Amino acid sequence: MRKIGVLYGGSSQHSRTYKTGEFAKHIHRLLPIREFAEADLDSLDVLLIPSQTHLKLLEANAAKIKAFADSGRIVVTFGPQGFDWLPEHNWEFRPTNFWWWLEKDADSGLALPGHEHDLFQNYLTLGDATWHQHGVYWPAEGCETLIATKDGGSVMYIDKVNTKGIWINTTLDPDYHYGSYFMPATERFLRGFLPWLEEGKI
């Protein structure tokens, strides 16, 4: 089983998702972001960066996060991380439609090019990853997009080409919504995604 560490900002959403709620059992260590520069990461296989992480503190620790990836390990980013510290992400902002599901003939606009991937064969469905998006990535050639918009923008992708490790980046923000007590799909997402991080085939 892989050991997951979370870069912990201490917000109420992060506390419920990673510290006190049902998903805490999947987290090996919480790494307070203000102490992260001195933290020993040797025991970890995965470093998860939550959505809504304090941007200036995140950028201050970007080199250490990249070094973790370059040691051959896994970095996961939730939520829109449209900033320069992500490798070759090519972020594109798009307005969020929070109420698309109320429209006639509602369509989330999502597709599942990664339907044959272990994550979606054994842990999740597209419905479990469907609430709304905050934008898309246009990852570098060689990355594997698992969830996309209909025009090909990447909502979740795996990057094994731009560092010596693996990055799993998604514009989805399940920890924010679960930690805020709304959006049932995000509970289903975390119930599949976190066990996959621990035991799945990446």
What is the number of residues in the chain? 202
CA distance 173 to 51: 6
185 residue type, one letter: A
- pLDDT, one tens digit per residue, over 74-86 is 999 998 765 678 8
- pLDDT, one tens digit per residue, over 98-133 is 665 667 776 778 999 999 999 999 999 999 999 988
More confident residue, 182 or 49: 49
More confident residue, 55 or 8: 8
When the candidates are 1.10.1740.10, 3.20.20.100, 3.40.50.880, 2.60.40.10, the CATH number that belongs to 4-199 is: 3.40.50.880
Domain coordinates of the chain in residue numbers?
Answer: 4-199
